[in-house]
Chains A and B, each alone.
Chain A
Amino acid sequence: MTDAARIRRSTPESTAGLVVSAALVLALATLPSWDPERTLQTPLVVVLIYLSLAQMWNLLAGFAGLVSIGQQMFVGIGVYSLLTLAEDRGFDPYLSVALAGLVAAVLSIPVALFAFRLKGGYFAIGTWVIAEVVRLLVLESDSLAGGDVRSLTRSSLGGYSRDARDDITYWLALALAVGATAIVVLVLRSRLGLGLRAVRDSEGGARGLGVDVTRTRLVVWVVAAFWTGATGAVILLNSPSARADSAFSVLRWTALVIFIAVIGGVGSTTGPILGVLVYWFIDEQLAEADTWRFIILGTVAAAMAVVAPRGLYGLLQRWRPVQFFPVRRRLVVPEEPG
C-alpha cells in the first residue's frame, strides 16, 4: 500500500475562495486611495465592525456552545479602556486598541468563573446579568464617569489629521473583521476546533475521548473577549462620543450581532459574512428608523431560527454544497487499481 487514505481539508472551491478572499481584502485595504469621497468607506467601517462582532459571537455560540447575551460587556470594557488609556493617561489611541482588547480578555476570566456554572438558556441570561453589573459599576464609578457623555478629545487624538484618523479607523476595522474571520478558520483547523466540534455534537462523548471541555471553552471565551474588546475600542474611535448606556447597549452590540449571525448562518465561517451583507442592505433602505431595523431583523432572525437554523449559508449549502473556507476534514480514499 503506497497510497494510504489521507485527511484533506482543501477543496478546489476553497482554493478558489482563498484567492478571491485575498483579492477582496487587497481591494478593501486600498479603498481609501480609490474612494476619495468615502462613499463606500464610511458605511463600510460599521459593516466591518459588525462582521468582527458577529464572527466572535458565531465562534462562541456556533462552535463552543456558549450562547452569550453579554458580549456588550466586552464592547463597553473596550470603550472605557480606550477612554482611560488615551484620554486620561495620554497613550497613543490607536496602539491602545490592542491594550483595550487585553483588558477585556483579562476581565473575561473572572466572568467565566460565574457564567460557566450555568448552561444553555441560563448561561445566556447569566452573561446578560453580569454585563448589567459591569454597566452599573461603570455608571457609578467616579473615575470612569459612565453617566456623562465622554469623547476622545483633540489633544488625546494627537497629531493625526482628520483624514488620517478616518483612514486608520477604517484599516483597524478591516483588520478586525478579516482577523476575526481568520481566527474562526484557524481555530476550526486546529486541534482545539476539532475538540470544540466534538463537544458541540456530544459533550459526554468528547469528554470520554479526552477533550478538556472546560479548558477548551475557556480559551475560546477569552479569545472572543479580546477581539470583542478591541472592536469596542474601534467603535469609540469611529463615533464621537460614548456613555455607559450606549457603550454597554445589549440591543446595539449583542442583539443586532446575533441577528446578523443567525440570518447568515450560525456554525459556519461564511454565514456571518452573508449576514452582515443582509444587514448592510436593510440598513441602507431604512435611513434613520432604528426601531424598524430591530423589528425587521429580529423577526427575520427568529423566523430563520425555526425554519432554517443554519441560516442563508445553510440554504445555499442545500442548493449547492460549496466549502469556501478549508475547515472541514474529509477522508480521501485512493481508488482501488483495476
Chain B
Amino acid sequence: MSWANAAVQGVLLGGLFALFATGLSLSFGVMRFVNLAHGDLAILGAYLAVSTTSALDVNPFVSLLVVVPVMAAGGYVLQRLVFDRTMGPDPLPAILVTFGLGVVIQNVLLERYSADSRGLDAGSIETRSIRLTDGIAVGWLPLLTLATAVAVLVALQVMLSRTRPGRAFRATADDPDTARLMGIDDRSVHGRVMAISFATVALAGVFLGVRGTFGPAEGPAVLLFGFEAVVIGGLGSLWGTLVSGIVLGLAQALGNQVDVRYDLLSGVLYGHLLFLAVLAFRPHGLFGRRGRA
C-alpha cells in the first residue's frame, strides 16, 4: 500500500515540477533563451512572499497578488534592459548574465534573510487531506498545486493558440525576421514572455514555500528539476512539460521507497538518474520532435 501511496504523492509532486518548468519551456520555445537564474527567482518569489505576509499580515496565497505582479514586472524590465542585449547566435553572454544573476540573488537573500530555513504558513490547508483508502491520503495542498499547474498550462496553451498576442509569440518563435516584417515588435514579445516566465516561477516558489521549508541556496535545485522536466518532455512542448513533471515526481517518490536509507537524498538522485536515462535513450525527450534541440 505504501507503494501506491508513494505513486499518488509522486504524481502530485509533479505539479510543482511542472510549474518550475513552465517558464523555462516558454522562454526557450519562443526565443531560445535559457535562464540559469530561474530557480533562484523561485526562491526570491518565496522570500518576497515571506516579507509580504509579515508586512500585510495576510495568507501566503493572498500575497501572490503582490508577489506575482512584482516578479512579472521585474522579468519584463530585465528582458528589455539586459537579457535582450545578450541574445544572438553565441549562447555565452546569456548564460553568463543569467548565471551571474542567480549567484547574486542567492547571496543577496543570504545577506538579507540569513541562511536559516523559512516556511510560509498557509493555515490548515497544509495539513488537511482526503482519505482515499486506509494507506492513501491526498493532501489538499499538493492537489491545489497540481490543479494550479494544469490551469496555468491550459491558460498558456489557449493564449498561444487562440489569441492575438499568442499568435505574435508563435510567429516570433518560428521566424523572428518575418514576424518583424509583419509588424510584430519582437522585443516587446520577448519582454512579455519573460514576464510570464517570472510570474509562473514566482507562483511555483510560493507553493514550494507553503509545502515545506526553504533556504537561499535552494534555487539551483529548482532550476535543475525544472530543466529536467523540460528536457524529458521534449524542448518547447508545454504538455510534455506537464507529463514529464509528473514522471519526475514519480521517480523521486518511488526512489524514496526503493532506498529508505537516505530518505531525502535518494529521491532526488533517482530523479536525476531518470533524466540521464532519457538523455541517453531519447535525447529529444518523450514528446519532442526530432531536431528541435
Contacts and interface: CB of A to CB of B under 8 A. Distances in A.
B100 A120 contact: no
Contacts of B34: 120-122, 124-125
B147 interface: no
Interface string B208-233: 00000000000010011001100100
A235 interface: no
B151 interface: no
Contacts of A137: 269
Interface residues of B, number: 44
Interface in A89-140: 113-114, 117-122, 124-126, 128-130, 132-133, 136-137, 139-140
Nearest to B231: A122
Nearest to B273: A133
A305 interface: yes
A129 B96 contact: no
B79 to A, nearest CB: 13
Interface in B234-293: 235, 261-262, 265-266, 268-269, 272-273, 275-276, 279-280, 283, 293
- Looking at chain A's contact residues, is the secondary structure mostly helix, strand, loop, or mixed? helix
B182 to A, nearest CB: 27
Interface stretch (A12-20, A159-167, A277-285, A290-298): A290-298
A139 B86 CA distance: 37
Interface stretch (A168-176, A206-214, A258-266, A324-332): A258-266
Contact of A306 (B33, B82, B268): B82
Contacts of B8: none
Given A133-B269, A136-B272, A295-B107, A125 B227 contact: yes
Contacts of B279: 114, 117-118, 126
Nearest to A293: B107
B99 interface: yes
Interface string B86-102: 10000111111101110
Contacts of A117: 279-280, 283, 293
A125 B223 contact: yes
A120 B262 CA distance: 34
B36 A251 contact: no
A238 B227 CA distance: 35
Which of B101, B220, B268, B273 has most chain A Cβ within 10 Å? B220
A121 B95 contact: yes
Interface residues of A, number: 41
A294 B97 CA distance: 14
A126 to B, nearest CB: 7
Contact of A124 (B95, B110, B111, B235): B95
A300 to B, nearest CB: 9
Contacts of B228: 129
A139 B262 CA distance: 10
A262 B85 CA distance: 17
A172 B280 CA distance: 38
Interface of B is mostly: helix
B136 interface: no
B103 interface: yes
A117 B265 CA distance: 26
A69 B220 CA distance: 11
B159 interface: no
A299 B100 contact: yes
Contacts of A122: 34, 227, 231, 235, 293
B62 interface: no
B99 A258 contact: yes
B137 interface: no
Nearest to B103: A298
Contacts of B65: none
Contacts of A128: 220, 224
Contacts of A47: none
A262 B107 contact: no
A250 B220 contact: yes
A295 B96 contact: no
Interface of B: 33-34, 36, 82, 85-86, 91-97, 99-101, 103-104, 106-108, 110-111, 220, 223-224, 227-228, 231, 235, 261-262, 265-266, 268-269, 272-273, 275-276, 279-280, 283, 293
23 contacts: A67-B91, A120-B91, A121-B34, A121-B36, A124-B36, A129-B228, A129-B275, A136-B268, A139-B265, A258-B96, A258-B99, A259-B100, A262-B100, A291-B111, A292-B107, A292-B111, A294-B106, A294-B107, A298-B100, A299-B104, A301-B100, A305-B96, A309-B93
Given A136-B272, A306-B82, 4 more contacts: A120-B91, A124-B99, A132-B272, A258-B99
Q: Top 8 A-B pairs ranked by shortest CB distance?
A: A121-B34, A302-B100, A120-B91, A305-B96, A298-B104, A298-B103, A294-B107, A298-B100
